[in-house]
Structure 1
Amino acid sequence: MLLDRWLGAGAGATDDAPGAADSAAKSRTDQRIPAIEAIREEHRAIAAILSALSRILDGIEAGRLQPDVRLLAGMVEYIAEMPDKLHHPKEDRIFSLLRSKTSDLDGHLDVLEAQHHDSVPATSHLDRALVSYIQGGAEAFAGFRDAARAYIADEWVHLNTEEEHILPAAQRLFSAQEWQDINADFARNGDPWSGEGNRYADLFKRIAHQAPAPIGVGDGASG
């Protein structure tokens, strides 16, 4: 699987991601819950893109890489569309049911739901920063770099909060029938992170092969 290959190549294995890409293994139990597996698979895909973007920013800043506009635009498109259109609706259902089970997680859920609500403005800001960079050239890099790094930092916290607090609680508190209903609903979406018409899987594949080695899995050079 391309996601496993890319993560194995290092896109999801940097210090920037304190567990989002691999925390599924840490908290997995003997019980298989397809809905949780789907959410974690999507987390891994998002983590791979975020980690690769972080490394590309470092490479551009250090002069090791020339900016690849198509690659950067693809990455911003992915993190702007896939989470909001495919991933967050799944999690929102988990959040809603979890609130009916316990109030212990209300603080986490308040923050996570607000971030879901604000995801479009957040990624729109990142997209505008990229456009400014493309139009302004090297002098405008700092603005895009800072916007991207702020977004990435917030997203790591978001993903890890879900992995460390929300999913384990849901797995512990939801009944077998509730999971059966959720699993059936999620299954209607098809593959967990591919999207309608394989849109996001194809975009992920294109990004992976555009990203220069050792960040991506392709042989193409950035430029």
Structure 2
Amino acid sequence: MQPTAVQLIIEEHRAIATVLHALQEAVEHARHGVAAPDFARLRAMLVYLDEMPARVHHASEGRLLFPLIRERCPALRPVLDRLEGEHERVELIVRELGHALSAWQVMGEVRHEAFELLARTYIESYLGHMKVEEDYVLPVAMDYLDAADWHQLAAAFEHQRGVLADSALRNQRELYARIVTKPSAD
């Protein structure tokens, strides 16, 4: 059985991946003329991808899990450094995507391709990032961390989520539900 901290990280990865795939699908539908761009839904996706990873997920990894792995498995430090650098870049790219989305909405189709290219790069990069964490970092962590470490991490994750107001987590869940609910065809 996986430790609670690993389960939480994987659950968060699944939610992020679902939003990334919804973003990819929305962009492809707009490109192929399947549906007019739903700018409100696209913006909701970007808000989720900005808020959830930065406030919850990356904080769990960067402040709680990665330091413990660095201590127990120094050979993994370069990989963790790279992943943390990617966390910072991801947050910047989401803001760039927000700007590109606004430009597309305001300036029209002439700016669609710029948004699409940036979105595609972001999606591929983030999915690859999560794959490295799941296929490499978490298995190494499970080999090097002991039961006491996992217990400490579970308590720290629980405390971290407790510090976030219930309303903030509820708002993230509601936003997620809005994003993954397929828009109805009129």
TM-score by length of 2: 0.91
Please identify runs of 4+ aligned residues in structure 1 that moved more than 3 A.
Answer: none
Residue 41 of structure 2: which of 66, 71, 82 is its match?
71
The RMSD of aligned alpha carbons is 1.7
In the TM superposition, what whole-angstrom CA distance separates every residue of 1:1-60 from its partner, at most 9, and x where no partner exists? xxxxxxxxxxxxxxxxxxxxxxxxxxxxxx331111111100000000001111111111
Query: Residue 175 of structure 2 corresponds to which residue in structure 1?
Result: 203
Asked if residue 161 in structure 1 is aligned to residue 132 in structure 2, the reply is yes
- Alpha-carbon deviation of 1:195? 7.2
Q: Which has the higher contact order (CA 8 A, sep 6+)?
A: 2
Residue 180 of structure 1: which of 145, 148, 151 is its match?
151
Asked if residue 135 in structure 1 is aligned to residue 92 in structure 2, the reply is no
Contact kept, 8 Å, 1:84 with 1:120, in 2: the verdict is yes
Residue 56 of structure 2: which of 78, 82, 86 is its match?
86
In the TM superposition, what whole-angstrom CA distance separates every residue of 1:106-138 from its partner, at most 9, and x where no partner exists? 332121011122333221111111111111111
What amino acid is the match of 2:35? L
What amino acid is the match of 1:84? A
- Alpha-carbon deviation of 1:197? 4.4
Structure 2, unaligned stretches of length 5 or more? none
Instruction: Name the count of aligned residue pairs.
Output: 181
Contact kept, 8 Å, 2:97 with 2:118, in 1: the verdict is yes
Higher helix residue share: 2
Query: Residue 78 of structure 2 corresponds to which residue in structure 1?
Result: 107
Query: Residue 34 of structure 1 corresponds to which residue in structure 2?
Result: 4
Contact kept, 8 Å, 2:90 with 2:122, in 1: the verdict is no
CA distance in 2, matches of 1:152, 1:32: 27
Query: Residue 24 of structure 1 corresponds to which residue in structure 2?
Result: none
In the TM superposition, what whole-angstrom CA distance separates every residue of 1:159-208 from its partner, at most 9, and x where no partner exists? 10100011111111111111111101112315xxx873411100001112
CA 1:142–1:202: 2 relative to 1, 3 Å = same
CA distance in 2, matches of 1:142, 1:197: 33
What amino acid is the match of 1:181? Q
Structure 1, unaligned stretches of length 5 or more? 1-30, 213-219
Query: Residue 185 of structure 2 corresponds to which residue in structure 1?
Result: 221
